[in-house]
Amino acid sequence: MQDKHGISNYLMEEESWDYIWTELVVEKKGARTFLDREGIDERDCNFSEEMLEEMLHELNRMIRKYSSTEWYWRQTANDLVNLFIDHRSSLEQAKS
């Protein structure tokens, strides 16, 4: 990013990168991320029936899309489909 025209003007000085990394990632003073989800189970989330239905609908759409002939030959698409199927199962269990 440093060498990209138009972007380098907006980057912080490199001397501050280690400090920022330590504060945000190591000391966890930044916003929560997916890395902070240890120990959280899907059951810990209280989704409404409508929200669960919408998530299932979207997962099914993505499974259909990345299983199609346009995508099936790509390993990344297969990996996504497997993850989506696993997540769909988790949501279906949470729903029941």
Rounded Cα–Cα distance for residues 64 and 34 (Å): 26
Q: Are 28 and 36 in contact (CB under 8 A)?
A: yes
User: CB–CB of 55/47 below 8 Å?
Assistant: yes
Q: pTM of the entire structure?
A: 0.54
Q: Provide the pLDDT confidence category of residue 31 given band limits of 50, 70 and 90.
A: low
Nearest Cα to 63, choosing from 85, 79, 95, 94?
85
- For 64, what's the count of Cα atoms within 13 Å in the CB-facing half-sphere? 6
The more confident residue out of 58 and 90 is 58
The mean per-residue pLDDT over the stretch 66-78 comes to 93
The average pLDDT across 69-94 equals 90
How high does pLDDT run on average in the chain?
A: 82
Q: For the residues 43-67, what does the mean pLDDT come to?
A: 86
Domain map of the chain by residue range? 1-38, 39-96
